[in-house]
Amino acid sequence: MINYQGKQCPICKRRFEEQDDIVVCPDCGTPYHRECYSINNKCIYENQHQLLKERNDNISQSDAINDINKNTGKGDQEGVGEASEFIVCPRCEHSNPSGSAFCNKCGYFLNDPQEIIDEIPQNIKEGLPILFDPMGGVEPNEEVDTVKFGDLAKMVKSNTPYYMSVFKRIKDNNKSKFNFSAFLFNGMWFLFRKQYKVGIPLTVLHFVILFYTSLIQYIQDVSKIISNFSEILEILSLLQFAVMLFCGFFANKIYFKSCIEKVKKIKEDCKKDPSLDYNKQLLDYGGTNSKIIFLLFLFSVFVSQYLPIFFLGGKL
């Protein structure tokens, strides 16, 4: 068995130790920590694997692997995963210049924060700002209701530092943070975060309020009658503001509970059907739905600008 001790995992940049659980890419032989490999569930040098297949009839596999190492920036002397020309981002697989701290494409932190801190002289470490952490300071293996925070991060997928720290705060103290995005966009924020059970009724309510508000304003503009509808407009405005406050104060707790329920359901489904890939299910059912935001924006323009006119037949 090959000894990978002292070599570097290309995902987390940590050196392998004797007790580490290591998995190896069957195509190019790149070693990973099992947990690191499960993040994308594929080799980050997958786009280079075709080189092995194309050259397999002409040269030995070891020579082809060395060629891959040169193309992907893995030095022959320092071992797997160390960059000589550029660094491959473990999140988006973009090639970055050697020495880059962040991915030029997605902004992912490319270096081990602890290694950077260790290189800083002790006399200037005081007051050093906390480096970017995708988990927001939360341990991936910490559990809440039998669900690991690492799995919750895969479900959240974007802006994980904020949500992991908020989820940790809810777990420990049952206290959340005010979500300004949910406050401003209310039901649409829930739909963006794939929280359809809550997002659909809140969004319908939003468009109902928007329609009646636009309709009254259109009638006032055409008929010049203001006093008859001022109280109705005030009630609708208060109702909309109440919905916004509800979303701002409770969105994070609702999202936290929903993510836990989704992860537990995926676990059950994977137990019933072993052919399902657990990590792929987390990534597929989690994340965000950006397409729906564009559609809702177009619909809101239609509701506020054109629907009242169609409803009244273009006139009073």
For residues 200-222, give the mean pLDDT: 83
- The per-residue pLDDT for range 24-67, each reduced to its tens digit, is 887 777 788 888 888 778 887 777 666 555 554 454 444 545 55
- Asked if residues 127 and 142 have their Cβ atoms less than 8 Å apart, the reply is no
The single-letter DSSP state of residue 122 is: G
Q: How many CB atoms lie within 10 A of CB 175?
A: 10
- The per-residue pLDDT for range 135-194, each reduced to its tens digit, is 888 888 899 989 999 899 989 988 888 999 999 999 999 999 999 999 999 999 999 999
Q: Please give the angle made by the CA atoms of 206, 210 and 214, to the nearest 5 degrees.
A: 175
C-alpha distances in angstroms, 124 versus 6, 113, 118, 128?
29, 16, 12, 8
Helices (H), 129-229: 149-156, 160-173, 180-185, 187-192, 196-223
SS3 for 80? coil
User: Length of the chain, please?
Assistant: 316
Is 248 a residue whose pLDDT tops 80?
yes
Q: How large a percentage of the chain has pLDDT more than 70?
A: 68
C-alpha distances in angstroms, 223 versus 210, 218, 297, 309, 313?
20, 9, 29, 13, 15
Pairing type for strands 86-88 and 95-97 reads antiparallel
- Asked if residues 94 and 106 have their Cβ atoms less than 8 Å apart, the reply is yes
Is 298 a residue whose pLDDT tops 80?
yes
Give me the amino acid identity at 294.
F
In angstroms, rounded to a whole number, what is the distance separating the alpha carbons of residues 203 and 208?
9
Is 199 a residue whose pLDDT tops 50?
yes
- pLDDT at position 300: 83
Nearest to 208 by CA among 235, 231, 227: 235
